[in-house]
């Protein structure tokens, strides 16, 4: 993976800054790109693979909003999470206290191992 160097200001002390390595991303890989790669590696045609991937992406938010954790095999697990405002009394907590809804992804251990040995080059 390529990286570039960026200068970032310390948010606690605006007069202080440091240089950091930051990811340098290439072009985006689309669902069609993935479908073509997957199709080349199996007996399914591109249209069928793309249809399955699109159906997966349509179903994920539905199941996440219903509180399900979605285990995607050797890829990892996806789940919905959120933050909440704190209150002194239990009865003061309700749905309006929920903030910062986010999607959490936990990669499978094998996937994590596969990317741990990535090499980095300056862009």
- Which pTM value belongs to this model? 0.74
Could you give the CA distance from residue 45 to residue 59 in angstroms, rounded to a whole number?
22
pLDDT tens sequence across 50-105: 999 999 999 999 999 999 999 999 999 999 999 999 999 999 999 999 999 999 99
Helix axis angle for 31-40 and 46-65, nearest 10°, is 130
Domain limits of the chain? 69-87+94-116
DSSP 73: T
User: What pLDDT shows up at residue 28?
Assistant: 85
List, in order, residues 6 or more apart from 73 with CB less than 8 Å away: 108
């Amino acid at each position: 993976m390529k990286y570039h160097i960026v200068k970032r200001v310390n948010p606690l002390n605006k007069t202080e800054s440091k240089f950091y390595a930051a990811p340098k991303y290439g072009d985006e890989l689309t669902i069609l790109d993935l479908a073509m790669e997957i199709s080349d590696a199996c007996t399914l045609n591109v249209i069928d693979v793309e249809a399955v991937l699109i159906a997966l992406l349509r179903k994920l938010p539905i199941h996440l909003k219903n509180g399900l954790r979605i285990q995607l095999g050797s890829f990892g697990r996806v789940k919905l999470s959120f933050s909440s405002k704190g209150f002194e009394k239990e009865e003061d907590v309700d749905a309006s206290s929920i903030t910062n809804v986010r999607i959490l992804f936990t990669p499978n251990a094998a996937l994590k191992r596969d990317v741990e040995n990535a090499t980095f080059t300056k862009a």
